Structure 1
Amino acid sequence: MTQQLLDKLKNNILVADGAMGTILYSEGLDTCPEAYNLSHPERVERIHRTYIEAGADVIQTNTYGANFEKLKAFGLEHKVKDIHQAAVKIAKKAASKDTFILGTVGGFRGVRQEELSLSAILYHTEIQVDTLIEEGVDGLLFETYYDLEELTNIIQATRNKYDIPIIAQLTASNTNYLRDGSKINDALQQVIDSGADVVGLNCHHGPHHMQQTFSHIELPEHAYLSCYPNASLLDLNNSEFKYSDNAEYFGKVAQKLINEGVRLIGGCCGTTPEHIHYIKSSIKDLTPIHNKKVVPITKQNAAAKSTTSKENLTTKVKRGATIIVELDTPKHLDTEKFFDNIQKLDDAEIDAVTLADNSLATVRISNVAAASIIKQNYNIEPLVHITCRDRNLIGLQSHLLGLSLLGVNEILTITGDPSKVGNLPGAMNVFDVNSKGLTEIAKRFNQGMNTDGDALKKKTNFNIAGAFDPNVRKLDGAIRRLEKKIDSGMDYFITQPVYSKDKIKTVYEATKHLDVPFFIGIMPITSYNNALFLHNEVPGIKLSEDILTRFEAVKDDRDKTRELSIEICKELIDTVHEYFNGLYLITPFQRADLSLELAAYSKSITSNSQEAIL
């Protein structure tokens, strides 16, 4: 029946089924829905039958999340083929002679950022597709794809192997744009160009917002449109997330979707056989449309205005020697010493003060609050770290908007230390995105759009720093990760502390091909015990035997220990300025006097060099 599906869509509207997982979860599912293909096939078959009895012309196999990566969370990654084979057999057993069966494949790249490479995604998807086609499905349904690149590549790879109907559905959190800023209408055309026969949207939106979206979508010349809305927006009822009981309303909006050109209509999250029944009954007298007037999208983002900002650190450090100093906010509310140190750094004309974001997963005063006070009362520029550990995608975006409103444009995006290393090891980690994902969000903000594609009405001016650890065992791997960070949009880099002149030279040789500035980290050692801690307990940092011996020799003399620390740092700074313009001084234990002395030394040698050139 493979080609019969497309033949049927030429002159007819087909009704698809609704959610499988919604029903299984309501019945007490305690694993992934796809596992039931093996453990409870009779339950899956019963749900298929109820959808067909409700009026579904098309059903999909219970394989949406049956890929290697998702099944791995349930210890079922070795059952990928078995689950797909069982799913098709169950669907065939439930189907009538007129029922079309779609083999369903879900996207890998969702709202949370995945590190899986595109080649790995294509490999795992090919196994799913091969198995579904071998078992005799009538078509393939690629659904809930947030990432356009992923979907188009999968379709192209599938089309190169098989001549089978392909239904491909993107998922958008905005009614006009995908997460990458692509217009939905344009994105669907790319999906068609990749080889899809039916294109559309599913998930995230209920019927109302889906109808709004489809009012902007043109009728394709060489494909048909599909739509599988959610039942509604999620609601919290008695501590449980539920969808609205709105099947009759769902059916009425289905009429509007048909009048927007949809030929294949079903349901996604929260929908039930009752929803499908109302769709079937409400559209039974409708016929496909062949012409429509598309509502144009207002070009709201084109009107975004850019906020003004002074010279950023990237420009400064490319132009000449630049010094930034890290100063942790306090763990308590006695901030007098902290702001006294800020004043001293300001008086010393340090280019920026970097404010960590609960580093080492230890609770400190909000660096945004500190940055706000600094912006209001001092001339020094705050460079605010943002960790992905503590905030979800909602919080991160709100955080960025707040920083922009405060005029804080210098940010460092970091994935963050896991909470188990800090003083609250039971706290939950979020990690909706990593540092690269957060950078991509900030770059979108610089274009005047949030991740939903909504206009910010002004563009942000974030200048984005990334972290670089040169103390790793294999520097080649670190450089490859660095290059990926550059691709994500990071503008300059700040390194972990370095304690070897040879290491500074090595970093220069390894990074000189990259057109981005570096601030090399220097952190004074405050005692022999501090040296032992850094050497033995901080990952990646190793001090030479000579340095350890020198600190041990003066361990009982505070003044000599300080002199030695300054002497070693000055030697390192000399080497930094041979190769780099950027110096990053990390203040240990609020000892701003150390950072100030080293900053003064750095300024003296760089100004002397400049005078010599002149």
Structure 2
Amino acid sequence: MKQHILTALGERVVVADGAMGSLLFDRGVDSSSCYDVLNLTDPALVQSIHKAYADAGAEIIETNTFGANRVKLGRFDLAHRTREINLRGAELARGQAGPGRWVAGAMGPLGRLGIDPLSQEELEDIFGGQALALVEGGVDFIMLETFASLSLLLTALRGVKAVVSVPVAAQMVFTQRGRTHSGRTARECFDALIWAGADVVGLNCGIGPKNALEVVQGLGPVPVPLSVLPNAGFPESSGDRLIYASSPEYFARRTAACAAHGARLLGGCCGTAPEHIAALVRALDAGSSEARIVSVSPDEVNTQTAAPTRLSRRLAEGKVILVELDPPKHLDVEPVLAAAEALSAAGVDAITIAENPLAVPRLSNIVLAGMVRARTGVDVVVHMTGRDRNLVGMQSTIMGLAASNLHNVLAVTGDPPSAGSAERVSGVYDLRSLELMALLAGFNEGRNHYGDSMRLPVNFCIGGAFNPNTRNMALQVGRMEKKMTAGARYFLTQPVYSRERVDEILAATAHITAPIVLGIMPLASSRNAEFLHNEFPGIEIPSETRERMARAGEHGQEEGVNIAWELLEYAWPHFAGVYIIPPFNRHVMALELMRRLGR
């Protein structure tokens, strides 16, 4: 009679199978299709892969249900078949496992969840519902795998544990540095998972067997069985395929060596095939021993503190004047540089440069920032959005800013691309404003997202945006508080056009200790006022102001400056400064306001 899986893992190493998705792709399944529905549409194909792993010596067969939750299935209009797909997946695996093997119900994360977040209860219900169907189909335990987020894995664990009584394995994805993408160590993750009730903890995907072995070597004793299911290595692209060059023997040798450091459930993930599992079984049967490979410790963090920027000092000492200039939509930068020279001569404290506002492509604001600083010597605030870069590109850009001595950054989420664009343009949004601020704050502490030392000190002056033109001011103030916790040192507001709104800001932010710089965008014309009011996000212009601009006619620019000055004169004593946003880069409007302020 087959042992309980936890009893077996307490006595010896148990071998699981390898990848499912890459084998389905190799057998002709389109990578953009839903692999999980093959349990219903092509069960013979799924069974053939299960059988190949069983023939290779795998003792645990995983179900073809990694993405069979109702969120992911919903993207294929299959959410209504969630239970059916999971039931059938469990039955197919059980049919090929036979009486002497275990079946693991594979469950993965939910993928990108979109704009509207799900509550913890909804998330737990999604994971719990999938687990119920898998257990009903006959799995011996649940394997939560390929989770990059510890918080989501803990949520999944709670949801599953609440509805089923079978054991649950919880597996994280780690980077080559042995940490999660948020910087947590394997030890931290496993301790949290064990405390939450995981019966098995471990790692899969993300890294190859060499890095997996290094993670295991640094763990120390783990009070529950440890699982290790690495990739075959790191892939290279060949057309539309990912090719894993490492041999089954290399994979088996390194993976088997994890057993000497406490691993009890061994198998494979991306790029592994029945050949890899067969080699792993042979290596374990032969008592393969791998010399201990000592991980190279990260460099010690340089604790020296970089000097604060001039803008940071000015914010602490007195009032500031910031003026925004937009990069051109072409290659002629001379008008912007000439404007920057005039503003610098007039005594501006910093020039801010937006990054592709309204998701329209412009000259790189970072390149332009370097040119402005080289031409004028004035401080420059670089806007960074989460829209245009993934996590890797963002860290590379931040290192470039630090190396270029561009240390003033306004961290924002970024305007979304137009949904009606003829071209397919999508925002990345790996990081939104809060996460971007936390990332910059981590660099200030000498480390990147993965915990790697930056070796040289940096001191980013991190700014945040505040939108007071909203019906729910309290919500926006709450976001300010979260941004301060994430690392924001000051705030620039969206443009304001009324004294009433100024008073509302002052009342709502009386407890905010970070400097708040009021946004003022002078109006250029009646047409400009109507566009901003009706079409520009986060801007509301009173009807009286729009009527004044309409009456001004061809003198709209002069009237726009007058209106801006009236509001600025009223607000100036109560804020840390002014953030002037001249429309269409008409810097002369900013110069006139600066003149009236006495600069």
What TM-score, normalized to structure 1?
0.89
Partner of 1:610: none
2:581 maps to which residue? 586
Q: In structure 2, what is the Cα distance between the partners aligned to 1:602 and 1:424? A: 45
Check whether the contact 1:69–1:77 (CA below 8 A) recurs between aligned residues: yes
For 2:225 and 2:421, locate their aligned partners in 1 and report how far apart those are by CA, in whole Å. 56
Q: What's the counterpart of residue 46 of structure 2?
A: 44
Q: Could you say which residue in structure 2 is the equivalent of 1:16?
A: 16
| Aligned mates of 2:493, 2:170 — CA distance in 1 | 44
Which residue of 2 is the match for residue 572 of structure 1? 567
Seen in structure 2, the aligned counterparts of structure 1 residues 361 and 539 have a Cα distance that, compared at 3 Å, is closer
Counterpart-to-counterpart distance in 2, 1:497 and 1:454 = 39
Q: Please name the residue that 2:191 is paired with.
A: 189
Q: Distance in 2 between matches of 1:484 and 1:125?
A: 29
Query: What is the deviation of 1:150?
Result: 2.6
Bigger drift between 298-307 and 250-259 goes to: 298-307
Give the 3 Å change call, closer, same or farther, for CA 538–575 of structure 1 in structure 2. Answer: same
State the distance in 2 between where 1:507 and 1:441 align. 28
Runs of 5+ unmatched residues, structure 2: none
Amino acid at match of 1:26: D
1:382 paired residue number: 380
| Residues 420, 426 of structure 1: 8 Å contact kept | no
Would the aligned equivalents of 1:494 and 1:521 in 2 still touch at CA under 8 Å?
Answer: yes
Q: How far did 1:269 drift?
A: 0.9
Between the aligned partners of 1:373 and 1:271, the Cα distance in structure 2 is: 49
The percentage of aligned residue pairs carrying the same residue is 34
> 1:76 is matched by which residue type in structure 2?
L
Q: Deviations over 1:179-235 (max 9, x none)?
A: 232222333233222222222111011112212222212131x21211101112111
Q: Measured at CA, do residues 287 and 233 of structure 1 come closer, stay the same or move farther in structure 2, by a change above 3 Å?
A: closer
Could you give the per-residue CA deviations for residues 350-380 of structure 1, whole angstroms, max 9, x where no partner exists? 2211001122233322221222233334342
Distance 1:80 1:318, change over 3 A: farther
* Deviation of the 1:540 alpha carbon: 4.3
Match of 2:590 in 1: 595
Shift of 1:384: 0.1
The 1:349/1:387 distance shift into structure 2, 3 A limit, reads: same
Please tell me the residue identity of whatever aligns with 2:89: A
Shift of 1:68: 2.8
Alignment map for 1:228-267 (pairs within 5 Å): 228-244=229-245, 246-267=247-268
Tell which deviates more after alignment, 394-403 or 207-216.
207-216
Q: Partner of 1:199: helix, strand, or coil?
A: strand
**How far has the Cα of 1:162 moved from its partner?**
5.0
The structure 2 residue matched to 1:199, chosen from 180, 198, 201, is 201
1:543-582 matched pairs, under 5 angstroms: 543-556=541-554, 558=555, 561-582=556-577
Evaluate the alpha carbon distance shift between residue 85 and residue 575 of structure 1 in structure 2; reply closer, same or farther with a 3 A threshold. farther
**1:33 is aligned with what amino acid?**
Y
Matched, 1:279 2:283: no
Unmatched 5+ stretches in structure 1 = 605-614
Write the distance in 2 (CA, Å) between the matches of 1:407 and 1:150: 37
Contact 1:111 1:146 in 2 (8 A): no
Of residues 67, 70, 73 in structure 2, which corresponds to 1:68? 70
Deviation at 1:58, TM superposition (A): 0.7
1:397 counterpart residue number = 395
How far apart in 2 are the matches of 1:87 and 1:109?
Answer: 20
- Provide closer, same or farther for how the CA distance between residues 299 and 252 of structure 1 changes in structure 2, counting only shifts above 3 A: closer
Letter aligned with residue 277 of structure 1 = A
8 Å CA contact 1:167, 1:196 repeated in 2 = yes
More displaced 10-residue stretch of structure 1: 113-122 or 399-408: 113-122
Is the 1:535–1:541 Cα contact (8 Å) retained in structure 2? Answer: yes
What SS does the aligned partner of 1:420 have? coil
How many Å apart are 1:320 and its aligned residue? 3.2
Contact 2:446 2:453 in 1 (8 A): yes
Per-residue CA distance 1:312-333 (angstroms, 9 max, x = gap): 43x6435532221101123333
Q: 1:116 to 1:383 in 2, by over 3 A?
A: farther
Once residues 580 and 347 of structure 1 are traced to their aligned partners in structure 2, the CA distance between those partners, rounded to angstroms, is 24
Q: Which amino acid counterpart does residue 588 of structure 2 have in structure 1?
A: D
1:31-54 alpha-carbon deviations (Å, 9 max, x no partner): 121121222223222211211111
Counterpart of 2:149? 147
Hey, what's the Cα distance between the residues in 2 that align with 1:77 and 1:576? 54
Residues 322 and 348 of structure 2 are in contact (CA less than 8 Å); yes or no, is this contact kept in structure 1? yes
Q: Which residue of 2 aligns with 1:609?
A: none
- Following TM superposition, by how much is the alpha carbon of 1:477 offset from its aligned partner in structure 2, in angstroms? 4.3
CA contact 1:62–1:87 (8 Å) conserved in 2: yes
Match of 2:460 in 1: 462
- Name the structure 1 match of 2:306: 307
Residues 522 and 148 of structure 1: CA distance in aligned 2, closer, same or farther (over 3 Å)? same
Q: What is the CA–CA distance in structure 1 between the aligned matches of 2:591 and 2:140, rounded to whole Å?
A: 72
SS in 1 for 2:4: helix
Task: Quickly say closer, same or farther: Cα 1:296–1:272, change in 2 above 3 A.
Answer: closer
d(CA) in 1 for partners of 2:502, 2:420:
30
The aligned amino acid for 1:23 is: L
Q: How far apart are 1:15 and its partner, in Å? A: 0.4
Partner SS for 1:354: strand
Query: Residue in 2 aligned with 1:97?
Result: 99
**Residues 303, 525 of structure 1: alpha-carbon distance in 2 compared, 3 angstrom cutoff:** closer
Q: Whole-Å Cα distance in 2 between the matches of residues 118 and 304 of structure 1?
A: 38
- Aligned-partner Cα distance in 2 for 1:111–1:274: 36
**Equivalent residue of 1:34, what SS?**
coil
Q: Deviations over 1:527-577 (max 9, x none)?
A: 222222223332443433322222222203x3xx33322221112113323
- The CA distance in 1 between the partners of 2:27 and 2:392, in whole Å, is 31
Decide whether the 8 Å contact of 1:361 with 1:422 is kept in 2: no
8 Å CA contact retained: 2:256, 2:288: no
SS of residue in 1 equivalent to 2:322:
strand
Deviation (angstroms), 1:156: 4.8
1:225 paired residue number: 226
Indicate if the aligned counterparts of 1:153 and 1:194 stay in contact, CA closer than 8 A.
Answer: no
Q: Out of 343, 347, 353, which is 2:351 matched to?
A: 353
Contact 1:226–1:262, Cα closer than 8 Å, also in 2: yes
Is the alpha carbon distance of 1:425 and 1:547 closer, same or farther for their aligned partners in structure 2, counting shifts above 3 Å? farther
Query: For structure 1, which segment, 152-161 or 200-209, has the greater mean C-alpha deviation from structure 2 after superposition?
Result: 152-161
In the alignment, which residue of structure 2 is the partner of 1:612? none
Q: How does 1:439-518 map to 2 (within 5 A)?
A: 439-518=437-516
Q: CA–CA distance in 1 between the matches of 2:197 and 2:246?
A: 37
Secondary structure of 2:142's match? strand
Q: Are the equivalent residues in 2 in contact too, given 1:362–1:423 (CA < 8 A)?
A: no
Question: 1:76-155 counterparts in 2 under 5 A?
Answer: 76-108=78-110, 115-155=117-157
**Change beyond 3 A, Cα 1:111–1:267:** farther
Q: Which secondary structure state, in structure 1, belongs to the residue aligned with residue 553 of structure 2? A: coil
Tell me the CA shift for residue 91 of structure 1: 1.7
Offset at residue 143 of structure 1 (A): 1.0
CA gap 1:157/1:331 in 2 versus in 1, 3 angstroms:
closer
Structure 1 residues 126-164: Cα deviation after superposition (integer angstroms, max 9, x where no partner)? 222333334442112111121223323443554466543
Could you say which residue in structure 2 is the equivalent of 1:608?
Answer: none
Change (3 A) 1:446 1:113: farther
The amino acid that maps onto 1:167 is A
Alignment of 1:414-453 (within 5 A): 414-420=412-418, 425-453=423-451
TM-score, normalised to structure 2, is 0.91
Residues in 1 aligned to 2:112 and 2:293: alpha-carbon distance in whole angstroms = 29
From the superposition, tell whether residues 205 and 299 of structure 1 become closer, same or farther in structure 2 (CA, over 3 Å). Answer: closer
Cα distance change on mapping 1:423 and 1:385 into 2, 3 Å: farther
| In structure 2, distance between residues paired with 1:184 and 1:130 | 29
**1:339 deviation in Å?**
1.9
State the Cα distance separating 1:486 from its structure 2 match: 4.1
How big is the shift at 1:94? 1.8
Distance in 2, Cα, partners of 1:288 & 1:159: 37
